[in-house]
Amino acid sequence: MTLDIVLVFGILGLALASFVWEKVPVEVTAIAVFGVILALGLLPVDTALLVLSNPAPVTVGAMFMVSAGLEKCGAIEILTGYFKKLAKAGYIPFLFVMILSVAFISAFINNTPVVVIFMPVLLGLAREMDVPASKLLIPLSYASIFGGVCTLMGTSTNILISGIAQTYDLEPFSMFELAKAGLPLLVLGTIYLMLFSKKRLPVRETLTQILSPEERREFITEAFIHHNSPLAGKNLIESRILKTPGVRVLEIFRGSISIPDKLNEVILHPGDRLVLACKPHGISRARSVEGLDFLGEIGEGLEQIAASEGSIVEGFIGPNSSIVGKTVGEIDFRQRFRMIVLALHRRGKNVREKLETLPLEFGDTLLMMGTDQAIGSLRSSTDIVLLDKPHVPSRSRRKKIPIVVATILGIVGFTTFTNFPIVASAIIGVGVLLVTKCISSKEAFSSVGWNIIFLIYGMLALGMAMQETGASTLLANNAVSAVNTFVPVEWQPYVMLAVLYLMCSILTEILSNNATAALLAPVGISIALTMGIDPRSFLVVTAIASSASFATPIGYQTNTFVYGVGGYRFSDFIKFGLPLNLMYFSVSIFLIPMIWPFY
């Protein structure tokens, strides 16, 4: 073992530890890995720059943009409208149609917008069907994974492994090559969800359900600091307003301008108007605060603004949100969004204490309250995705649906029936969408999961360093030697295929699908070449195992979405998803060698 191999394994270990530790964003770790590899000379600069020529990241970015085009024009929302009619048919028929619909869409566009758009729809329909939302959201995420495995463009993992194959002078995946195994797995997965979702999925509370009926009824009203008020010259803490039970201060207006400072530090002036959120019992207590008058009860010549019920909504932190890693206090959430955070759900736990100092994370679900105007403004934000109802696109975009659908069909057609590579088809497709104004350039670039792109580049560099230094070959030789010692010759390829699947499955549950694929696809190729067999089956196993993440909520992005929104616990995914993982493993190891023979 050379020094370079030791250094590569050390970098790999530190990278894996960082991914599991989750204190540093994955894309930061990935770029740091790339930089360290260059600094230590584990890859010559010219060789390292070949990573940037890999078609996979460009293709993934382009497919993000194409998916955004379909989302922005409202094509997916049209389909969700039909679900309301199906809700009357009952839970099982509805579940069946939902699984197949989501799987079909996810086979051709990025999974993330599909799940994001369907979540508010399912939350609303769950109430109509009198079914807990937790009985629908895990099947939603799993269905998107089922579909993504079936085509080249269904998930970034497939595109990435296809690109890695090209760097080894192997044939890339064709558009529907993976469907040979993906469709049987889709059928089995659908049967599993149909049989066991109702009985084995837990009944969990969403954030709105943790509030009592009294807590759900809050009212927005305004109060006035009159000229002789004893509150003038004091801040909110000194005035005892914040200590009044059932009363929250949302905003302070001086004249017609909202004061941007931290509310606790604002010195009250005569004429200030306070926007209050009051529980029913809090209104009477607020009226008893000396020096605080409600508009309409005083002769100030001010127009009364009637008390109105404050709306409580749920939303989750999206993957491209600018507020990830910052606390509610740091971003001044109340002033920025004109909303107050009532509670937060993270990793199966409802948090209601110290919300101001808790750094926000991707996938966090927030329970917020504010006026209808504030909620309307929040709907246009890319930082928080509201779950009370699906986003309704502008009518003008609906006319663009045929163009977007034709573009996607064009990408599929060119890649399937010609030798045109998918990266070229995807770039041309994005150009069509931009020129026809189906999507703006700002929307296109903001839709790209740049954290995923940089993660792919960093992991590709690490994979290349493992190959150049001989680390991948060393791993492959040791693995093959161990299998040769204990396994009969005729079974050795099957055992190695199973070992690779289990390695991918375990890593993808604790890291991410793309990181796992980038690290283990080169190892799988090295194993196959060492054994003198066709690497194709090992590439297919890596693609399926890296995406088939059912047993944890952190291995796949869509699982993370539904984790917080559905109020699930970590153990819910293990209990319900682990049998599905084992099913995918068993069927894959049986089917793949039949479809892609070793010799």
pLDDT digits (tens, 9 = 90+) for 477-524: 888 888 888 888 889 999 999 999 999 998 888 777 888 998 899 999
Question: Quick one: pLDDT at residue 590?
Answer: 94
Question: Quick one: pLDDT at residue 296?
Answer: 44
Q: Which is higher by pLDDT, 205 or 516?
A: 516
Question: Quick one: pLDDT at residue 422?
Answer: 92
Residues 305 and 318 in one domain: no
Q: Strand (E) positions, 245-391?
A: 247-254, 257-258, 273-278, 292-294, 308-309, 311-317, 340-346, 349-351, 365-370, 384-386
Residues 434 and 578 in one domain: yes
The answer to whether position 105 is within a domain reads yes
Helix (H, G, I), strand (E, B) or coil at 496: helix
Name the H helices within 218-309.
280-287
CB atoms within 10 A of CB 276: 26
Residues 89 and 158 in one domain: yes
Torsion of CA 35, 39, 43, 46, to 10 degrees: 80
Question: Quick one: pLDDT at residue 209?
Answer: 55
Q: Last residue of some domain: 309, 333, 361?
A: 309
- 225: enclosing H helix or E strand: strand 219-225
Residue 398 has pLDDT above 90, yes or no: no
CB atoms within 10 A of CB 165: 21
Residues 321 and 302 in one domain: no
Is the Cβ–Cβ distance between 222 and 303 less than 8 Å? Answer: no
Question: Quick one: pLDDT at residue 524?
Answer: 92
Q: Last residue of some domain: 243, 276, 309?
A: 309
Residues 301 and 315 in one domain: no
Rg (CA), the chain: 27
d(CA 394, CA 116): 18
Residues 298 and 331 in one domain: no
The answer to whether position 213 is within a domain reads no
Minimum mean pLDDT among 131-135, 257-261, 510-514: which range?
257-261
- 224: enclosing H helix or E strand: strand 219-225
d(CA 73, CA 402): 10
Q: Which is higher by pLDDT, 401 or 79?
A: 401
The answer to whether position 172 is within a domain reads yes
Residues 192 and 224 in one domain: no
Q: At which residue do the structure tokens 């609303």 appear?
A: 124
Is the Cβ–Cβ distance between 77 and 393 less than 8 Å? Answer: yes
User: Half-sphere exposure of residue 13, counting CA atoms within 13 Å on the CB side?
Assistant: 7
Residues 547 and 494 in one domain: yes
Residues 381 and 303 in one domain: no
Q: Last residue of some domain: 277, 309, 341?
A: 309
Question: Quick one: pLDDT at residue 583?
Answer: 96
Q: What is the CATH number of the domain that holds 378?
A: 3.30.70.1450
Q: What does each C-alpha distance from 411 to 38, 106, 408 come to in angstroms?
A: 36, 15, 5
User: Half-sphere exposure of residue 503, counting CA atoms within 13 Å on the CB side?
Assistant: 21
User: Half-sphere exposure of residue 359, counting CA atoms within 13 Å on the CB side?
Assistant: 9
> What single letter denotes the amino acid at residue 302?
L
Residues 436 and 466 in one domain: yes
Question: Quick one: pLDDT at residue 211?
Answer: 53
Residues 413 and 470 in one domain: yes
Domain of 377, in residue numbers: 311-386
Residue 268 token pair = 């009250």
The answer to whether position 86 is within a domain reads yes
Question: Quick one: pLDDT at residue 433?
Answer: 93
Question: Quick one: pLDDT at residue 123?
Answer: 82
The model's pTM is 0.80
The answer to whether position 43 is within a domain reads yes
Question: Quick one: pLDDT at residue 348?
Answer: 61
Domains held by the chain: number: 3
Question: Quick one: pLDDT at residue 330?
Answer: 80
Q: Which is higher by pLDDT, 583 or 344?
A: 583
